[in-house]
Amino acid sequence: MIQLNETHNPDLKSWVTSANDSATDFPIQNLPFAIFRRKGEHDMFRAGVAIGDQIVDLSAAYQAGIFDAALAPVLETLTEPTLNEFMALGQGAWSSFRAALSKALSDGASEASALASCLVAQSTVEYSVPAKIGDYTDFYTSINHATNVGKLFRPDNPLLPNYQWVPIGYHGRSSSIEVSGHSFHRPHGQLKAPDAEQPVLAPCKRLDYELEVGIYIGSENQLGHPVKLADAEAHVFGLCLFNDWSARDIQAWEYQPLGPFLSKSFASTVSPWIVTMEALAPYRQAWTRPADHPQPLPYLDSADNRNTGAVDMKLEVLIQTASMKAGGLPPERLALSNFSQSYWTIAQMVAHHSVNGCNLKPGDFFGSGTQSGTTSDSVGALLEATVGGREPITLANGEKRAFLEDGDTVILQGWCDSEVAPRIGFGDATATVLPAIDY
Amino acid sequence: MIQLNETHNPDLKSWVTSANDSATDFPIQNLPFAIFRRKGEHDMFRAGVAIGDQIVDLSAAYQAGIFDAALAPVLETLTEPTLNEFMALGQGAWSSFRAALSKALSDGASEASALASCLVAQSTVEYSVPAKIGDYTDFYTSINHATNVGKLFRPDNPLLPNYQWVPIGYHGRSSSIEVSGHSFHRPHGQLKAPDAEQPVLAPCKRLDYELEVGIYIGSENQLGHPVKLADAEAHVFGLCLFNDWSARDIQAWEYQPLGPFLSKSFASTVSPWIVTMEALAPYRQAWTRPADHPQPLPYLDSADNRNTGAVDMKLEVLIQTASMKAGGLPPERLALSNFSQSYWTIAQMVAHHSVNGCNLKPGDFFGSGTQSGTTSDSVGALLEATVGGREPITLANGEKRAFLEDGDTVILQGWCDSEVAPRIGFGDATATVLPAIDY
């Protein structure tokens, strides 16, 4: 059941004036969390909430005693260098703190002057991955993506028989998840041309991005105790942007029979900010299946899930090549997609993941899988946009791309808006491809 | 280069007399690590080393000041409730501490009386998973297992073309790894009979064990910086026993195209003890490939790897059913296998895993994949022993098993011995199947 409260009031304004700009990602209705420190500080990573172009330094706010004493145990978790302890507190604590913070940041709040001294300009900070991610699972929830990729690998049988029944997912690698702003080297791996007798070790030639939504688990379930669909969203802390960089040539050779491995574990990029599920309440939509598709099994089906299971979250991927940067050209949009088209909801992912008793822990992370629409300007990976590299795209400056080249920067952005609620954004998830190292 | 030193001396005896019994898993030449506490203690997990039927409580030894002051920083890491910090210190520290402990436990050592007060009987303790496992990767290194399983899923094409080139592996779930002695409920999952129109949610009917070796990473490599084959073993802390419980019916329906997921993430069992790579030095063997198989690519090939890449580690799986327990019957052997038959070495797994720049961290864990020999009494899973369940095995008491039944306890054991070195053992990895919960 999705409920709105005073923190969602579209008329709410903040005394932080930059938060009232209609173009900001971070109006007072958003209040996403990150882990940050001032550039140049060492070992001082701590939690903050975005408001306009500022960050509320929650450690400073805790030390200044700005919030009600009843919230002290909550604020204490926010002085940690990851959000895991805060996530573990559960929905009640998240919601109480959001209400208090919204009130304190509202126009005319009595806390304004004390809290103003706890603001840090976003332009002066650096971020870290906001949680210690224990386990990371990548789902595959876009039927358009699954169909497009399936056509390339299995032209006669693009969508496997289990796809419409099982929220397909696989375990991913958490150690190589980095926060927006990093660079990584083009990975080496075994490549085998279709007509070659044997593979060679070489730098990947078919490097790709994947436009995904990241999902952070908050409160845990005990091993052996599944989370039912009705309880599933209460276990979810919030969403971010996620680029699951993929080496398509390494993937094609390695992935059978146990799935992707080194094609995905060299780098993944998260946005710094986590937008809470509560902040996303005004942008929820009905979730439907085409009438001629199988409907979900009972453990994955409920009226709530059908009525409000989807999230109307716009997703954009942009590129800025080395020559665009050199020429002062801004990033160029490659695709615009929407998470609302996901074939499975967040609650279904949680319920399915734990139906075998698997325990989900605070800070665990799901990727939604590449979110692709049905048109070439809405697909979330170059593999799809270029039909397996056979039809390179042409950028506005005349450059062509079948796959990514060294020096390319890829930027993911995301936002929600509606006729009755303000625009809230996710910041961005950006990273740059460096040349392969000598091996 | 495998080198022996005084800690491997087969004539070495301990003043802990139970360590001198030729049947013990834990003579003074072994010295494996675990995390333990006395039964009934709360939050007191700490590191210990096995010697005979005792444990050296390393926190107590640290507090008693038994070891040279130069080792204090090393001992301090061993007061933690996981081995991760000790693992991160690297091979030099592991080896220095082993040498000091071996000396202090040797017959006639001046430290004997002080150290005797730090002994705790193994019969009085409980264990925890010895490291905080960040990422867990499951390999697939037994060509016999891959061929046997492949025949069941793809009769015409059992061994895929990449198998002889790529050390196949996939990311696993670390949250559900538990230490020996636990029980777990038979998992629910989507099952689809071949002739059924649609799947159903039901308790798994084809529950299986997998006889594997567990491999703990010690020192890390930085993201983007592969570990070369020559350096690979220096990053490995040690080995244990590992049961990668598998729900074959869930697996068959879910695993395409992204690999095993819920069929593996409901429970996995590690043995409490980690036998260090240094302790395994006397049991190393040449690693070879049949001459008509492709030889490894250069990044996976070296003279050292060929000369001493294999580990002669015997692996045994036993079962004790509910009725065997009720009748006082001991566990019965199902299979005896050997890690020396692995198609890929530990060093090759490390070098391959990191060739794309993937960072391996202290406490990260590899499963070797099921280790199967070529005969029905040497295969590491029921799936193989019963030919996909079609040919149930008959136990000595007349019970039959196609797959596991509720109440079955499965026990993995492992040991090394040779003509010139004593037997060292791994303890065991034991767990019991409970009935499915009501969903």
Tokens of A424: 């809230």
The last residue of one of the domains, among B100, B127, B154, is B127
Contact yes or no for A175 and B255 at CB 8 A: no
Contact yes or no for B297 and A261 at CB 8 A: no
Residue written as tokens 């098993």? Answer: B401
State whether A76 and A195 are in the same domain: no
**Residue B265 in contact with residue B273, Cβ under 8 Å?**
no
CA-based nearest residue in chain B for residue A360: B175
What mean pLDDT do residues A1-24 have?
95
Sign of the Cα torsion A354, A357, A362, A367 reads negative
Residues of A in contact with B223 (CB under 8 A): 175-176, 178, 184, 267
Contact yes or no for A153 and B199 at CB 8 A: no
pLDDT at B289: 92
CA-based nearest residue in chain B for residue A263: B356
Is A220 annotated to bind a ligand? Reply is no
pLDDT at A370: 98
pLDDT above 90 for B190: yes
In this structure, of A115-119, A254-258, B105-109, B179-183, the range with the lowest mean pLDDT score is: A254-258
- The residue ranking higher by pLDDT, B426 or A156, is B426
pLDDT at B156: 85
State whether A122 and A148 are in the same domain: no
What mean pLDDT do residues A43-68 have?
96
Q: What is the pLDDT of residues A398-421, one digit of tens each?
A: 999 999 999 999 999 999 999 999
pLDDT at A154: 82
Contact yes or no for A165 and B361 at CB 8 A: no
In the residue annotation, A225 being an active-site residue is answered as no
Q: Which residues contact B82 (CB under 8 A, 6 or more apart)?
A: B35, B45, B129, B130, B131, B132, B363
CA dist A222 and B235 (Å) reads 33
Backbone angles phi, psi at A348, to 5 degrees: -65, -35
**Residue A263 in contact with residue A257, Cβ under 8 Å?**
no
Contact yes or no for A188 and B140 at CB 8 A: no
Backbone angles phi, psi at B96, to 5 degrees: -60, -45
pLDDT at A38: 96
What mean pLDDT do residues A187-207 have?
97
State whether B28 and B53 are in the same domain: yes
pLDDT above 90 for B245: yes
CA dist B38 and A177 (Å) reads 38
Indicate whether B439 belongs to any domain.
no
How far from each other are the two terminal CA atoms of chain B, in whole angstroms? 54
Distance from CA of A357 to the nearest CA of B (A): 6
Instruction: Assign B365 a pLDDT band (cuts: 50, 70, 90).
Output: very high
Instruction: Assign A85 a pLDDT band (cuts: 50, 70, 90).
Output: very high
Binding residues of B for Ca(2+): 138, 210, 212, 244
State whether B108 and B153 are in the same domain: no
State whether B220 and B270 are in the same domain: yes
Indicate whether A439 belongs to any domain.
no
CA-based nearest residue in chain A for residue B299: A201
Residue written as tokens 């978790």? Answer: A77
What mean pLDDT do residues A244-258 have?
96
Q: Which of A142, A159, A168, A171 to mutate against chain B (most B CBs within 10 Å)?
A: A171
Q: What is the CATH number of the domain that holds B75?
A: 2.30.30.230
State whether A226 and A297 are in the same domain: yes
Q: Which residues contact B290 (CB under 8 A, 6 or more apart)?
A: none
pLDDT above 80 for B81: yes
Instruction: Assign B43 a pLDDT band (cuts: 50, 70, 90).
Output: confident
pLDDT above 80 for B187: yes
pLDDT above 80 for A43: no
The last residue of one of the domains, among A96, A128, A160, is A128
pLDDT above 80 for A68: yes
Residues of B in contact with A137 (CB under 8 A): 261
Q: What is the CATH number of the domain that holds B396?
A: 3.90.850.10
State whether B281 and B383 are in the same domain: yes
Contact yes or no for A185 and B224 at CB 8 A: yes
pLDDT above 90 for B1: no
CA-based nearest residue in chain B for residue A222: B176
Among B134, B162, B437, the residue with its CB nearest the CB of A174 is B134
Instruction: Assign A155 a pLDDT band (cuts: 50, 70, 90).
Output: confident
State whether B344 and B256 are in the same domain: yes
Residues of B in contact with A246 (CB under 8 A): none
Residues of B in contact with A297 (CB under 8 A): 190, 199-201
pLDDT at A153: 80
Task: Tell me how many degrees the CA angle B292-B297-A198 measures, rounded to the nearest 5.
Answer: 70
Q: Which domain holds residue B65?
A: 6-127
State whether A323 and A217 are in the same domain: yes
pLDDT above 80 for A1: no
Distance from CA of A20 to the nearest CA of B (A): 40
pLDDT above 80 for B224: yes
Distance from CA of B160 to the nearest CA of A (A): 8
State whether B69 and B163 are in the same domain: no
Indicate whether B230 belongs to any domain.
yes
Indicate whether A1 belongs to any domain.
no
- Domain tally, chain B: 2
What mean pLDDT do residues A201-215 have?
98
CA-based nearest residue in chain A for residue B223: A176
pLDDT at A238: 98
Among B173, B223, B261, the residue with its CB nearest the CB of A176 is B223
Calculate the CA dihedral of residues A379, A381, A386, A392 and round it to 10 degrees: 120
pLDDT above 80 for B383: yes
Nearest to B178 by CA among B84, B271, B269: B269
| Annotated catalytic residue within A8, A145, A188, A235 | A145
Q: Which residues contact A404 (CB under 8 A, 6 or more apart)?
A: A207, A208, A209, A382, A410, A433
Contact yes or no for A299 and B201 at CB 8 A: yes
State whether B92 and B169 are in the same domain: no
Contact yes or no for B176 and A358 at CB 8 A: yes
Q: Is there a cis peptide before residue B435, judged by omega within 30 degrees of 0?
A: no
pLDDT at A11: 97
Instruction: Assign B139 a pLDDT band (cuts: 50, 70, 90).
Output: very high
The last residue of one of the domains, among A128, A147, A177, is A128
Indicate whether B394 belongs to any domain.
yes
What type of residue sits at position B109? A
State whether A74 and A140 are in the same domain: no
